[in-house]
């Protein structure tokens, strides 16, 4: 608990630091190229709706006649920008800030900005509204073109890249869909489908949502927009409401992709398998959208991501709610340092530099997959009719497959489940995980600590709202489980672990579950270890 309090105190201490703001004069058309010294300063601008946005400009050392592209950096939810290259949370600890700081030293203009409702920026938090937060990205690029000399440009304007994790990732997809000046984006552990991330199959992730409300509307005191406050209150009732859906439906890449307005930038996406808030599925779907729009995309799968407060731990303990690690081992056993890989990739996209780095389309840590298609579910297994008697202290294991030799599995299974419950528990809420039962110990290990809620009634409401179904009985009969990445030893059994509660969700008042379950599950390819 001490590490949590220390981390929060440090964040608060850095947020409240004061700073002076500089007002550079606009560039004149006849202004000559000069040598520019490396420095940084704070500035402000006003968005289209009158909201004041605060940011820090990192000016690179530029020789006479030399130009540099622009890299935008912003922060995760509840945090604030990189005000200083050293004495700031991003300046000395968080990896996206480290990349931005290194890029500045390697001749990039860098702007790190406070999103509205955060830090020194004014306004209310709208949770990545394309008409607010995404337009703020455009406002920052407009300011840069007007005030920063010797910017690298192309036919669209300033050559711009963007990097950020979590909240700072979701806005990249939207801004890229709206403005072609964003050529290269690096969204890290963020969402493609915000609604399904927060309330999968219609069951809200109440613990994470409560934590986001704490740091969004209490830590940044009273910064939630009234519509966001209402959406939060509705989730406390245990299901997704129509008004919440209509408020959030455009705040996600999914909406833009489904309306022929996909992100226009090339993308390097980093997503985590232990991420409880935004599982690896989100990165895979975003990558498919960008690929179908005929832009270049790479997807890197790491172990980390968002960690449930007080329930999951990061390996080092430095960032208790989130981590991504320092490196990743692809299927060919080649190791990539994440920060170096991002910088090399930006150099390729924004400076046209050639590189010998041969990053595959898909790179998942310690997995043989290397193409997005490798993640697709391919093989169907029948789930034999099994009697479930679940209480708060019991879980039921339903076997699927016994490994005949060392086997690897990576991707998102698809599950169709039929629940025949007794009258007193006619529509139970089940929490389903993919688990491995060890042949040696007989114990179960939940792969990547992931679980998915299943409740037919809430699923019908969810599908009716999100798919605009007139008849709730036409609800989809299958769900996508969180992506998994794991290994089975010879003799291990892969199966489903079914429980009546989860640490990631509020406790539902329901009678002891007694039901027959059966159905079908489609698994991604099982890779046999050839070594």
pLDDT > 70 fraction of the chain, expressed in percent and rounded: 93
Q: How many helices (H) and strands (E) does the chain have?
A: 13, 27
On whether both 432 and 285 belong to a single domain, the answer is: no
Residues 328 and 425 in one domain: no
Residues 431 and 21: their CA atoms lie apart, in Å, by 51
404-418 confidence digits (pLDDT tens): 999 999 999 999 999
- Mean pLDDT, rounded, for 24-37: 83
Q: Is the pLDDT of residue 438 over 70?
A: yes
The average pLDDT across 488-512 equals 89
Q: Give the pLDDT of residue 7.
A: 43
- Top pLDDT among 171 and 429 is at 171
When pLDDT is averaged across residues 485-504 and rounded to a whole number, the result is 95
Reduce the secondary structure of 213-238 to three states and give it as a string. Answer: HHHHHHHCCCCECHHHHHHHHHHCCC
- The arithmetic mean of pLDDT across residues 14-40, rounded, is 75
Q: Is the dihedral of CA 120, 228, 181, 81 positive or negative?
A: positive
How would residue 392 be classed by pLDDT, with cut points 50, 70 and 90?
A: low
Which pLDDT score is estimated for 30?
66
Q: Alpha-carbon distance 72 to 172, whole Å?
A: 10
Q: Based on the domain organization, do 311 and 219 belong to the same domain?
A: yes
Q: How many residues does the chain have?
A: 531
Are 452 and 481 within one domain?
yes
| Tokens coding 360 | 């595959």
Please report, rounded to a whole number, the percentage of residues in the chain having pLDDT higher than 90.
74
Q: Are residues 110 and 255 in the same domain?
A: yes
What are the Cα distances from residue 168, in Å, to 124, 258, 262, 351, 354? 16, 22, 18, 23, 28
Alpha-helical runs (H) found in 148-302: 167-178, 194-198, 206-213, 226-235, 242-248, 253-258, 280-292
Has residue 393 got a pLDDT over 70?
A: no
Q: What is the mean pLDDT of residues 219-246?
A: 88
- Report the SS3 class of residue 371: coil
Confidence band for 11, pLDDT divided at 50, 70 and 90 = very low
349/478 same-domain check: no
Contacts of 513 (CB under 8 A, 6+ apart): 388, 389, 390, 391, 421, 425, 428, 430, 500
Where is the domain boundary, 373, 399, 427?
A: 373
Task: Find the mean pLDDT for residues 470-493.
Answer: 88
- Mean pLDDT, range 380-393, rounded to an integer: 83
Q: Once rounded to an integer, what is the mean pLDDT over residues 108-123?
A: 97
Distant-in-sequence, close-in-space partners of 422: CB < 8 Å, separation ≥ 6: 514, 515
Question: Which pLDDT tens digit goes with each residue over 187-224?
Answer: 999 999 999 999 999 999 988 888 888 888 888 888 99
Helix (H) / strand (E) element for 411: namely strand 407-411
Residue 6 clears pLDDT 70, i.e. is over it: no
147, 25: one domain: yes
CATH classification of the domain holding 468: 2.60.120.260
Cβ within 8 Å of residue 264, ≥6 positions away: 176, 177, 179, 180, 182, 293, 295
- The mean pLDDT of the chain is 91
- Residue with the bigger pLDDT between 287 and 220: it is 287
The pLDDT confidence band at residue 271, using thresholds 50, 70 and 90, is very high
What pLDDT, on a 0 to 100 scale, did the predictor assign at position 238? 80
362 and 493 assigned to the same domain: no
Domain span at 394: 376-528
Q: Any idea of the CA torsion for 160, 165, 167, 169, to the nearest 10 degrees?
A: 40
Asked whether residue 339 falls in the same domain as residue 383, the answer is no
Residue range 257-281: mean pLDDT, rounded:
98
Q: Is the pLDDT of residue 284 over 50?
A: yes
SS3 136: helix
Tell me if 61 sits within 8 A of 37, measured CB to CB: yes
For position 19, what pLDDT does the model report?
A: 52
pTM of the full structure: 0.94
pLDDT band for 10, please (50, 70, 90 cuts): very low
Assign 18 a pLDDT band (cuts: 50, 70, 90). very low
Identify which of 99, 60, 72, 62 has the alpha carbon closest to the alpha carbon of residue 342. Answer: 99
Secondary structure class of 527 (helix, strand, coil): strand
Specify the pLDDT at position 332: 67
| Residues 246 and 325 grouped into a single domain | yes
What average pLDDT does the segment 474-487 reach? 89
Which of 373, 394, 424 corresponds to the end of one domain? 373
Predicted confidence (pLDDT) per residue in 60-92, tens digit: 999 999 999 999 999 999 999 999 999 899 999
Which pLDDT score, from 0 to 100, does residue 391 have? 61
Q: Give the per-residue pLDDT at 239.
A: 81
d(CA 429, CA 453): 7
Q: Write the CB contacts of 436 (distance below 8 Å, at least 6 apart in sequence).
A: 444, 445, 447, 486, 488, 492, 493, 494, 495
Domain count, the chain: 2
CA dihedral sign, ordered 360, 365, 366, 369: negative
- The Cα–Cα gap between 204 and 237 comes to 9
- Over range 32-50, report the average pLDDT: 96
374 to 304, 402, 433, 435: CA distances (angstroms): 21, 21, 21, 20
Contact by Cβ (8 Å): 36, 59? yes
Quick check: 273 pLDDT over 50? yes
If one counts every other C-beta atom within 10 angstroms of the C-beta of residue 371, the result is 12
Residues 112 and 72 in one domain: yes
pLDDT digits (tens, 9 = 90+) for 138-161: 999 999 999 999 999 999 999 999
| CATH number of the domain to which 228 belongs | 3.40.50.1820
Domain boundary among 373, 389, 404: 373
Residue 474: CB atoms within 10 A of its CB come to 12
Q: What is the pLDDT, as a whole number, of residue 32? A: 81
Q: For the stretch 281-302, what's the b/e string if a residue is b when 16 or more beta carbons lie within 10 angstroms of its beta carbon?
A: bbbbbbbbbbbebebebbbbbb
Same domain flag for 361 and 387:
no
């Amino acid at each position: 608990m001490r590490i949590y309090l220390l981390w929060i105190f440090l964040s608060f201490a850095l947020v409240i630091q004061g700073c002076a703001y500089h007002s550079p004069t606009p560039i004149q058309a006849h202004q000559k190229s000069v040598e520019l010294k490396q420095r940084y300063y704070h500035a402000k601008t006003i968005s289209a709706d009158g909201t004041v946005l605060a940011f820090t400009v990192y000016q690179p050392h530029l020789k006479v006649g030399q130009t540099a592209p622009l890299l935008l950096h912003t922060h995760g939810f509840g945090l604030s920008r990189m005000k200083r290259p050293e004495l700031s949370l991003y300046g000395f600890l968080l990896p996206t800030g480290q990349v931005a700081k290194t890029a500045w030293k390697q001749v990039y203009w860098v702007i790190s900005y406070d999103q509205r409702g955060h830090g020194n920026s004014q306004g209310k938090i709208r949770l990545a509204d394309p008409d607010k937060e995404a337009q703020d990205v455009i406002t920052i690029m407009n300011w840069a073109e007007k005030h920063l000399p010797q910017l690298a440009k192309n036919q669209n304007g300033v050559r711009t890249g963007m990097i950020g994790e979590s909240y700072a990732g979701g806005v990249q997809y939207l801004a890229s869909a709206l403005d072609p000046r964003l050529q290269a984006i690096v969204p890290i552990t963020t969402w493609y489908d915000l609604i399904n991330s927060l309330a999968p199959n219609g069951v809200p992730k109440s613990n994470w949502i409560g934590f986001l409300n704490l740091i969004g509307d209490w830590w940044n005191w009273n910064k939630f927009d009234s519509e966001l406050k209402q959406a939060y209150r509705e989730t406390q009732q245990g299901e997704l409401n129509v008004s919440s859906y209509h408020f959030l439906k455009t705040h996600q890449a999914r909406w833009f992709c489904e309306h022929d307005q996909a992100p226009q930038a090339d993308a390097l996406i980093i997503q985590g398998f232990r991420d409880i808030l935004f599982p690896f599925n989100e990165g895979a779907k975003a990558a498919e959208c960008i690929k179908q729009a005929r832009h270049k995309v790479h997807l890197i799968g790491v172990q980390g991501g968002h960690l449930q407060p007080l329930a999951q731990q990061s390996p080092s303990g430095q960032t208790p709610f989130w981590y991504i690690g320092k490196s990743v081992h692809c299927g060919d056993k080649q190791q990539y340092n994440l920060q170096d890989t991002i910088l090399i990739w930006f150099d390729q996209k924004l400076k046209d530099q050639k590189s010998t780095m041969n990053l595959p389309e898909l790179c998942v840590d310690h997995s043989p997959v290397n193409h997005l298609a490798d993640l697709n579910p391919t093989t169907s297994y029948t789930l034999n009719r099994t009697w479930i008697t679940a209480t708060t202290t019991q879980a039921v294991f339903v076997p699927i497959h016994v490994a005949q030799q060392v086997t690897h599995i990576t991707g998102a299974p698809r599950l169709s489940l039929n629940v025949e419950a007794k009258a007193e528990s006619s529509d139970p809420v089940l929490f389903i995980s993919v688990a491995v039962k060890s042949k040696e110990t007989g114990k179960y290990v939940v792969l990547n600590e992931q679980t998915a809620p299943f409740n037919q009634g809430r699923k019908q409401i969810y599908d009716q709202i999100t798919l605009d179904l007139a008849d709730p009985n036409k609800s989809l009969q299958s769900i996508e489980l969180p992506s998994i990445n794991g290994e089975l030893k010879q003799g291990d059994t892969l199966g489903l672990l079914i429980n009546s509660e989860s640490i990631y969700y509020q406790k539902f008042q329901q009678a002891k579950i007694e039901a027959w379950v059966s159905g079908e599950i489609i698994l991604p390819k099982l890779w046999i270890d050839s070594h």
